[in-house]
Chain A
Amino acid sequence: MHKRKDTKKNGRMELHIRDSGDESAFQEAKHEVQVSFPEQQASFLKRAEEKTRRSGKREERKQNCYLVAMARLLPFNVAVIYIVLLFICANLVSCNNGRRVGDPLEAELSGFSVPLEHSFELDDVAKFQSRGSLLLKTGREPSVSVTQNQLSEDERSKLKEVAAVDGLYRIRVPRVFLQADRQTEWQMDGYLTAFVRACAMVESHLSDVITLHTDVSGYLIGVSIVTLPGACRGMEVEDEVDLEVFNTTLSIMAPVNAPGPETALFLERMEQESEKKGKNPQEQKSFFAKYWYLILGGAIFLMLTNSAQPPAGGGREQS
């Protein structure tokens, strides 16, 4: 699905909403925004968020959705129109980059949020701090979305230092049960952890892919993180702003059903083949039906030639 709505008002504003699509071009565009107007964008989005909440309208959040707003200049009256526009496509909005989260969001109708924490230390002793929060929607088809903090200046420099000594960037999420109805049931003790090399995090400009894995009954059993690109080539990341906003692709994976032996299809095919064969009665004849005259002829021939002498049993030896 690929939806794009370009609206030009006063020749100043563009809005792109995508459900999912080719990410590379998309990400470039996004970076542009983040580099040029991070603060304006953030403030705008914050206002939009407040408005949304005030109106009390529930948003249906979908997985792997991106919102990118591109704004060149942002006078206030234009912003109001923009917010109206935002509501029009609100059902497609799901996740949100570069937003400062004050307090954790309220639990949704059948969902809850859990903290996503990260740790990167020079001495590699894990000290987990909040990176954002994951919004998990429970039920038959669980889904997840994320709200993430920005990295502060201290954190950025620390991440670069950790990357320089080839340290690890770790994340952790608490163990939860996604099928539970009540809040008391989803909590379990313990955390699931994963890591990437800090340099890969830096060189990918914080573009990571986080996957949550559940088991059959909906328990979260593992988390994995990879960066895109994944390699550490020793590239120097010049601009610190590149390391401010996470660009996270998030998904939740349940086990797939392994196939059993496919007998039905095979039998169908066999039947088709036998039908084909049935059309050709020549093939269906038994061995004796096909060669009876040869056998009979051979037998008579042998009887005639050997009738004078008793059987010597020599024929058996040949086999």
Chain B
Amino acid sequence: MKLFLDFSIEVVMKFRMLEAKLRNYKNGYDSERRHRMSAKFWRSCAILGASSNIPDTQSSQGILLFAFVCQGGRAQVQNQSYTLIEPELIFNFHLPRQQYVGKVRFSHFDTQLQSSKKVLVATESNVFAALNSRTGELFWRHVDKTGPEGNIDALLHHAQDAVLVVGNGRMLRSWDINVGGLNWEMLLDTGSFRSACLVGQQGIVKHVAVLKKTVISAHYLSNGHQKWVENLPESETVDYQTMYSGGNGQVFVLGIVPHSHITIVVYSMEDGEIIKQVSIEAPWLSNIPASCAVVGQGMLMCVDSTTMSLNTLDLHQQLQMTRIPLQSLGLEVDPDFHPSLVSHQPNPAQNPLSEFFLQLGPERYLLLQLNNGQIVTLRDFKPALLSSFVTTGEKTVAAVMSPKNKTACSINLFSSDTGRRLLDTTLIFTVDPNGGKPERLHVQAFLKKDDSVGYRVMVQTEDHTLTFIQQPGRVMWTREEALSDVVTMEMVDLPLTGTQAELEGEFGKKADGLLSMVLKRLSSQLIMLQAWIAHLWKLFYDARKPRSQVKNEVSIENLSRDEFNLQKMMVMVTSSGKLFGIDSKTGGILWRHYLDNVPKNAAFKLMVQRTTAHFPHPPQCTLLIKDKDTGLATLHVFNPIFGRKSQVTPPALPQPILQSLLLPLMDQDYAKVLLLVDDQYKVSAFPSTKNVLQQLQETASSIFFFLVDSSQGRLSGYRLRTASSSFHIDLSTEQVWEVIIPTEVQMIVSVKGKRPNEHVHSQGRVMGDRSVLYKYLNPNLLAVVTESTDVHQERSFIGILLIDGVTGRIIHEAVQRKARGPVHVVHSENWVVYEYWSTKSRRNEFSVIELYEGMELYNSTVFSSLDRPHAPQVLQQSYIFPSSISTMEATLTEKGITSRHLLIGLPSGGILSLPKMFLDPRRPEIISEQSREENLIPYSPELIIRTEWFINYNQTVGRVRGIHTAPSGLESTCLVVAYGLDIYQTRVYPSKQFDVLKDDYDYMLISSVLFALFFATMISKRLAEVKLLNRAWR
């Protein structure tokens, strides 16, 4: 019977597939391609049967893909069957995504076992993760909501539990750190979070206490249930800030009335009863966590920066504060520095150590000891950058980082009891000149076999980099966490190889005589021949080695463009101000550069001023960094291939900058001209050589630009003006048009132009009756999206304005009623696609607007915004989309022949490649012969997400924030980078690889047929000659 079942299932499957195939035929359009595809499909199924001997790691991949094939079996089958034949190719094309966690806020080393390899990190990107301390890879990662809702307030770690307080005290969660599973989760009462701590009793930690503004609650560590909750006394006047528990079943809550007194409330852990409540005068104190620490047997130690003294208070006796002036300890204090204290409590069930650090200056730490009310200086560290306590077993040591020279710091361990330096504990940390200064020190200590203390450190620097170092200074791994927040990026072509560049350089130089030119040509061709022979030799040499051993290590020295320009340099700008150059083929970071003067809320704009095409001039990128508050901007000019700062000095920008625009004009060194408009409407050019200014003067009347002031709803157009005096040419602007959208009704949320490097191959669309519908291809068109200020679901709307950026003419104005943002817009060719939330139907909807000139072109040779009197025809259609989206971008190819796809980043982490033909306002509601002729898909209101459209398979990209597309040298291929918390790079083929021969292309057959034909012609020619001759003889 079992056999029967197996068989029938199989038959069902086969018939289902056949049915699906037949249905595809019935659908009718593009049946030939479908035929080819389904042939491929069956072949791929057959191949899987044959490829069962692929290695273990890859077979799972293959089978997984096969599941995809069987599910969908339509659009991208060809691609997948390709990967089935050579499974390793998938790793070349689709880089495994790079996963990041963000800037580390809390970190703990797992100390349960000596051999444990886990580092727990909670970050400012609301991520909680465990890193492998040997390799730096992620064990597991939990990504919470963005914004304050998912903000991690505290991380407490005990044994194999990690307790997190999330979202300003909204949620209490416990995670099992071994597997990363959730133990329990509790929703807490409302109230803003103040502090959390583990509470131990008789050496065992059983509870966790959470202090909020008005309430303190205790929870069991095992299941999260609330043990008790108590209102804090006088919480209106007293600001309770911190908690302390010394392991004796009492919880001390410390509150303060600023500049008046400290309030101490002691709760019993058993039932939450108030044991004691005292107030102690402390008029100099304003913030407990910033200036106090609990040391030793419950002694509160506070530092007073005005009188430069330490104040101690016994929390158990609570008599009064004892003042110890720092001068009595023989210490002098930097008057501008606010000193701080660091104590260490190795176990929440025990008292803290009586030793503590006092930071007296930016580079000065003191190790002090509280001994029977007396403070003893154990050691003075000067200079010292960072310090930290760490406990392993019974031993506690202090790690101190001190600067050694400009490029290196040394870290040493000191005994915490005596302040003596431990032998053989020096570790050298090399400061990256392109990185930031060290910011935090996370130390992992362990006991060696001889009972001495060994350690490793994780250094966190200002540029969000984590570096894990082992003695004596070997870097085990680094994580560039700045890449978790990429703001903008560009893909730059790699330079030519030396020989190619040599050849190119020949044309670049000025001609100097016929003979020298010939000689130069000969020499460069000799060099090329040499390189070719070397290449052949390398091929021959590599062919003998097994394939896995051939490694193409990419380094900054051997970077060169490949045949099809598929490998590019990804220049990424992160919000921390660190720039990266990443090789798109391997994902390796080739250069990094940290800009240390970047303001916190900076806006970035990256522009490629000169590409690699102009050898011997180096490529040049310019980064505009603008402070959002003041509007003041700086320019950073660098070489995108090597990351080095350029020799060119950018102009100083004393005025706030309103707008920057990169003109297609070039100076004599082939650098595109960057214009910067300041708030006085004065324009400065960069580079501003005489040549540039002359060109600008000639073309000024045709340089238009626009400014958007969304706070006033003002869109205004300007024209460049030049005023030349005898010495220099002044650039200014004049306003030529103005459109004002009243802010009482709607707000401008985004303005999208077209990408300047976009090419459109076809000016029109061939209709079913063989006539041509011409596209309205206005390169100056702007799509302005507005949202209504009224958010009521019946009255809210979204406005779409299409405005010509040169003349300010409103080409089209549409209103999507009962809709709300966030709106995602893509504007390209002659279409605008936008996505919004429909409040009426409570769903996400896509809408597409297409513009056509009609059956005749007004002026087919040139497009001028100033001479297009007729308004275009506007077509629009909307669709239901079953998911919300995070970001959207269109594919881009070299010449624009390939059909377009929309790349949609979904909140689930998938990246969907949606063919544009599904978003086409000409999709007919009733199918006619003509629409079938035109290959139009019949209209259906819903866009279905097909699983085979996901281009990243199972490699989900966390919190995808942007997608960057760039053309490659192959027309069929578009390079895609998705960035967010993770970075993922791949290639897409919207029209399949029509310009690439398949790797199963039968060269032998074709060439043998060719040869056969050739010989047949030769022979028959010969025979014919002989026959003619014979006939002539007759």
Contact = CB atoms under 8 A, between A and B. Distances in A.
Q: Do A and B bind each other?
A: yes
A195 B736 contact: yes
Contacts of B816: 257-258, 260
B12 interface: yes
Given A194-B807, A303-B4, A315-B10, A170 B736 contact: yes
A260 B812 CA distance: 17
A311 B2 contact: yes
B808 A258 contact: no
Nearest to B17: A319
Top 7 closest pairs, chain A to chain B, by CB: A224-B809, A230-B869, A222-B739, A261-B941, A255-B813, A226-B869, A258-B814
B741 interface: yes
A311 B880 CA distance: 50
Contact of B866 (A124, A200, A213, A316): A200
A180 interface: no
Contacts of A269: 925-926
B742 A260 contact: no
A295 B746 CA distance: 65
B925 A265 contact: yes
Contact of A224 (B49, B810, B867, B941): B810
B925 A266 contact: yes
A213 B810 contact: yes
B741 A215 contact: yes
B738 to A, nearest CB: 5
Contacts of B799: 215-216, 255
A221 B745 CA distance: 11
Q: Per DSSP, are chain A's interface residues mostly helix, strand or loop, or mixed?
A: mixed
Interface residues of A, number: 63
A284 interface: no
Interface of B: 2-4, 6-8, 10-16, 45, 49, 701, 719, 721, 734-742, 745-746, 788, 797, 799-800, 803, 807-810, 812-817, 838, 840-841, 845, 847, 849, 859, 866-869, 876-880, 925-926, 939-942
A118 to B, nearest CB: 14
B869 A295 contact: no
A169 B209 CA distance: 74
Given A168-B736, A258-B847, A291 B869 contact: no
Interface of A: 124-126, 166, 168, 170, 175, 188, 190-197, 200, 209, 211, 213, 215-217, 219, 221-222, 224, 226-232, 253-263, 265-266, 269, 287, 291, 295, 298-299, 302-303, 306, 311, 313, 315-319
Contacts of A200: 866-867
B431 to A, nearest CB: 55
Given A216-B797, A260-B845, A261-B942, A299 B737 contact: no
B578 to A, nearest CB: 42
Nearest to A299: B4
A15 to B, nearest CB: 30
Given A260-B878, A266-B941, A196 B866 contact: yes
A221 B799 CA distance: 13
Contact of A317 (B49, B812, B849): B49
A3 B550 CA distance: 85
Contact of A259 (B739, B878, B926): B878
B118 to A, nearest CB: 41
B877 A124 contact: no
B43 to A, nearest CB: 14
The CB with the most chain A CB atoms within 10 A, among B7, B859, B880, is that of B7
Contacts of B45: 319
A221 B743 CA distance: 11
A44 to B, nearest CB: 32
B7 A195 contact: no
Given A259-B878, A319-B13, A295 B3 contact: no
Contact of B10 (A188, A260, A261, A319): A319
Given A266-B941, A269-B925, A191 B4 contact: no
13 contacts: A192-B738, A193-B735, A193-B738, A211-B809, A213-B739, A219-B741, A226-B807, A230-B867, A232-B867, A259-B847, A259-B877, A263-B880, A316-B10
Nearest to A312: B3
Contacts of B3: 302-303, 306, 311
The CB with the most chain A CB atoms within 10 A, among B10, B735, B742, B869, is that of B869
The CB with the most chain B CB atoms within 10 A, among A213, A224, A261, A318, is that of A261
Given A259-B877, A262-B939, A224 B797 contact: no
